[in-house]
Amino acid sequence: MNSILNYSLYIFFGILPSLLWLQFYLRKDVKPEPKAMILKIFFYGMLLTIPAIFLEKAFFEIEIKNLSPLLLSILNIFIGVAFIEEYLKFLLIKLKILKNPEFDEPVDAMIYMIIAALGFAAAENLLVLFSVGIQSSDGGGLLLPLLTPVFLGKIFEISLLRFLGATFLHALSSAIIGFFIGLSFFEKEKRKSLILIGMILAVLLHGLYNFSIIELGKGLNTLIIPFFLLIIAALFVSFGFKKLKKININYKQ
């Protein structure tokens, strides 16, 4: 019984951050997407963590000589993590949405990129929480520790930090790609260049966020730099939704 309760709470706190952001961003869509499509893309987004893990592991094992530790860290963070994850999310939407009849408005590109990203983040959150639980178990085995008030507080703290940080980051970085896909809805001849710009910006945001935590994670830098990155990205994404809706209205007129 305890194990069932353990797993249930881990799953709840792992998925909750993504569901909260999903609820927030779905309200941005005047014409709601089909629930079945939302669930499918969210689930596919979760599955993306599997190839991401293998690709990132393979990249980290590549031996690159004559590089300083800092340059190697930059390469791993920006290419080995940020690029791989952002490209996989984009690839999912390219294969499953861009030629789908449900993709009938430019803002849909942002919505579906966010859905895929939040699915990915949900699986990532689950991996983090289960990893913390296993490491905290008394025997160091597969059984998770009893959910004492102290440990419950730890789970909630991790879930909250993921909600405000990594989960939000995934949604914003993918939304940026979605914005440029949406722009290409009206400028098909520039589609490749627009998507490339979106990919570069998303990878820069994702990479800078991770780099600031990993390499600059001392004192206030741990919070200040990631906070400002997320604020700037959130403002850009908010502008992106308004811009695409306005262009769409003018286009229809």
Check pLDDT > 50 for residue 141. no
- Residue 49 CB: number of other CB atoms within 10 A? 19
| pLDDT above 50 for 97 | yes
pLDDT at 52 over 70: yes
Residue 146 pLDDT grade (very low, low, confident, very high; cuts 50, 70, 90): low
Token pair for 18? 């993504």
**137: pLDDT confidence band, cut at 50, 70 and 90?**
low
Structure-model confidence comparison of residues 10 and 239, the more confident one: 239
- pLDDT over threshold 70, residue 139: no
- What's the CA gap between 30 and 139, in Å, rounded? 52
Position 211 pLDDT exceeds 60: yes
Structure confidence at residue 148 (pLDDT) = 63
Q: Which of 75-84, 113-122, 135-144 has the lowest mean pLDDT?
A: 135-144
Residue where the block lists tokens 């910006």: 201
pTM of the model: 0.91
pLDDT above 90 covers a percentage of the chain that reads: 58
Neighbours of 181 (CB within 10 A): 26
- The pLDDT of residue 186 is 81
Between CA 83 and CA 24 the distance in angstroms is: 26
DSSP letter, residue 63: -
**Residue 58 to residue 61: CA distance in whole angstroms:** 5
- Return the amino acid letter for 169: L
Query: How much is the pLDDT for 217?
Result: 62
> What pLDDT does 134 receive?
65
User: 33 with 66: CB under 8 angstroms?
Assistant: no
Token digits for 134? 């296993």
Of these ranges, 66-80, 152-166, 169-183, the one predicted with the greatest mean pLDDT is 169-183
d(CA 165, CA 188): 34
**In whole angstroms, how far apart are CA 41 and each of 2, 94, 96, 99, 190?**
32, 12, 8, 14, 26
pLDDT at 59 over 70: yes
Closest CA to 134 of 143, 126, 125: 143
